[in-house]
Amino acid sequence: MAFPDGARFVIIGAGIHGLSTAWHLAEGLKAAGKGSGEEILILDKTGIGAGASGIACGVIRNNYYQPAMRELMAHSVEVWESDREAFSYHPVGYMQISAECMREDVGTIYDQQQAIGYDSSFIEGAAETEKYMKRFFNDWQAKGVTSVLHEKKGGYANNTASLYGMASKAEAQGVRILSGVTVTGFVSDQGSRSIAAVETDRGIISCEQLVIAPGPWVKFFWDLLELPASVNIKGADGKIHTDIPMWRYWALEEGTLGVDPNLQKTNGGKMPPVIHVDSDAPLHSDVDGSLITDKLWGIYYKPDFHFGGIQGGAMPYPVEKAADDVKVDPYGIDSPEFIVDDNFAHMWCSALAFCQKRFEGQIELYKKEPSGGIGGFTPDSFPVFDWFRDNVYIIADSNHGYKMIGVGKLVAEEMLGHSNSLLQPFNFGRYEAGELHPVSNSPFPWS
């Protein structure tokens, strides 16, 4: 492809959001008779799925305490289900197994899932929870859990395969994907607040509208656009909390136990739902019996032939700077890809054994390879989807990204002049207006 000097729509980022937006925008332009996919250009400094989307665990769920997130995820599940093969999507379902301190919150999630027609079951009580889980796994032995929210929809997708499937859909509509192009700045339109062109290390590309979907690199573009480094937030008590940093970073640890994925099949020989466990029972080492934690902890896991084993993760933790072994990228922040440490492997493998006897004594099979990532989070840990500088739409997913394939469809509608109520709760103005999302008791900041 010859280096272009301009495009009607320029999208920065060839991850889940950039590809989904381009694909749906191309379809929308064609359907409305307003243009074609040939007017859309995706730029990525490396290539398709080279960032956070390409190393995502791939879990797809509706399990959110926040009504707006729950409705948005239900919409995204519909998009995943629209072409299971192309998206390498496995609709095995999802189980949230929770401690007593979370039971009321999870029960609220169940009630509201029923209200929006999202198929799920809710099991309560320690004895009933154990009985229900043993219907699927005869070696289930987790303690400190008193409820199960079993979502019959959702599951997981193989990250790289799904991204290339989406890229194929976009390219079939005429969308151009240009890899190896680093964005270095923007050219403002004289006399307005619009962005007239994108500056890159290979030249300047003019545009009419710009979508920025950079995953954890969002702060770089935020600063280029001279957007606020901090925000004022109106709390539930009406008080204004000033100068809250707009961006913060968390380490997202994930890994793979290198066993045959078939090891996790259910009693009936089927591939199981994705399992998420939050327990307040003390967690002891599966190696030497020492206490790892006596606080509320959580893990998630699933068998995955793409990763080659049992793959999942645990609670993230905030970081000021990433570890020394994290690669530094051209945008001046740490790469989302890094090697998780031995503490994570010890905790996660011990937690697997805590949940199911089949994982006892398996820690030596843990695979030391790049996984997890550095996530860029907003002040409330929920996404910001909004217009800035007149013609710039920013998709700042706050690390909810991969599962939210449907956001691109909604953003495409915004680009075509049709606002959508599902995106409205995630506007930037919510902080100052005090229109915040409710907070759950989960140990995960995104639940």
Domain boundary among 344, 360, 377: 377
173 with 222, same domain? yes
217 with 274, same domain? no
Contacting residues for 82 by C-beta, under 8 A, at least 6 apart: none
Contact 334, 326 (CB under 8 A): yes
User: Within a 10 A sphere around the Cβ of 310, how many other Cβ atoms?
Assistant: 28
Range name among 196-205, 336-345, 351-360, 403-412 with the lowest pLDDT average: 336-345
pLDDT of residue 251: 81
Q: Distance between CA atoms of 269 and 271, rounded to whole angstroms?
A: 7
Q: What is the mean pLDDT of the chain?
A: 91
135 with 267, same domain? yes
For the cut 80, the answer to whether the pLDDT of residue 440 exceeds it is no
199 with 137, same domain? no
21 with 145, same domain? no
pLDDT, tens digit, for every residue of 91-131?
Answer: 999 999 999 999 999 999 999 999 999 999 999 999 999 99
Secondary structure (DSSP) of 110-164: HHHHHHTT--EEEEESHHHHHHHHHHH-TTB---S--EEEEESS-EEE-HHHHHH
- Is 190 contained in some domain? yes
pLDDT of residue 445: 59
pLDDT of residue 329: 45
For the cut 80, the answer to whether the pLDDT of residue 443 exceeds it is no
Domain boundary among 341, 362, 377: 377
pLDDT, tens digit, for every residue of 16-27?
Answer: 999 999 999 999
252 with 280, same domain? yes
Q: How confident is the model at residue 336 (pLDDT cuts 50, 70, 90)?
A: very low
Q: Tell me the two tokens of residue 28.
A: 């929308």
For the cut 90, the answer to whether the pLDDT of residue 384 exceeds it is yes
Return the CATH number at 110: 3.30.9.10
- Is 87 contained in some domain? yes
Contact 23, 9 (CB under 8 A): no
- Is 243 contained in some domain? no
For the cut 80, the answer to whether the pLDDT of residue 447 exceeds it is no
Question: Is 0.85 surpassed by the pTM of this model?
Answer: yes
- Is 116 contained in some domain? yes
> What is the domain extent for residue 102?
94-152+248-377
pLDDT of residue 55: 83
139 with 277, same domain? yes
Domain boundary among 377, 398, 430: 377
- Is 399 contained in some domain? yes
291 with 430, same domain? no
pLDDT, tens digit, for every residue of 276-315?
Answer: 999 999 999 999 999 999 999 999 999 999 889 999 999 8
Q: 257: burial class by Cβ within 10 Å (0-12, 13-18, 19+)?
A: buried
Mean pLDDT for the stretch of residues 265-283: 98
Instruction: Give the chain's domain count.
Output: 2
Contacting residues for 60 by C-beta, under 8 A, at least 6 apart: 76, 77, 80, 89, 94, 154, 155, 156, 157, 403
Range name among 107-121, 331-345, 358-372 with the lowest pLDDT average: 331-345
For the cut 60, the answer to whether the pLDDT of residue 339 exceeds it is no
For the cut 70, the answer to whether the pLDDT of residue 86 exceeds it is yes
Q: How confident is the model at residue 204 (pLDDT cuts 50, 70, 90)?
A: very high
pLDDT of residue 196: 97
Contact 436, 425 (CB under 8 A): no
Q: Maximum distance among all alpha carbons in the chain?
A: 69
182 with 233, same domain? yes
- Is 4 contained in some domain? yes
311 with 364, same domain? yes
Mean pLDDT for the stretch of residues 393-413: 95
- Is 176 contained in some domain? yes
Q: Distance between CA atoms of 142 and 115, rounded to whole angstroms?
A: 30
Q: How confident is the model at residue 184 (pLDDT cuts 50, 70, 90)?
A: very high
Give the whole-number percent of the chain exceeding pLDDT 70.
Answer: 92
Q: How confident is the model at residue 221 (pLDDT cuts 50, 70, 90)?
A: very high
User: Within a 10 A sphere around the Cβ of 1, how many other Cβ atoms?
Assistant: 8
Contact 307, 259 (CB under 8 A): no
- Is 242 contained in some domain? no
The tally of CA atoms less than 13 A away on the side-chain side of residue 193 is 9
135 with 160, same domain? no
206 with 145, same domain? no
Return the CATH number at 81: 3.50.50.60
pLDDT of residue 219: 93
Q: Mean pLDDT: which of 46-50, 135-139, 320-324 is highest?
A: 135-139
For the cut 50, the answer to whether the pLDDT of residue 324 exceeds it is no
pLDDT of residue 191: 81
Q: Distance between CA atoms of 337 and 265, rounded to whole angstroms?
A: 30
Q: How confident is the model at residue 331 (pLDDT cuts 50, 70, 90)?
A: very low
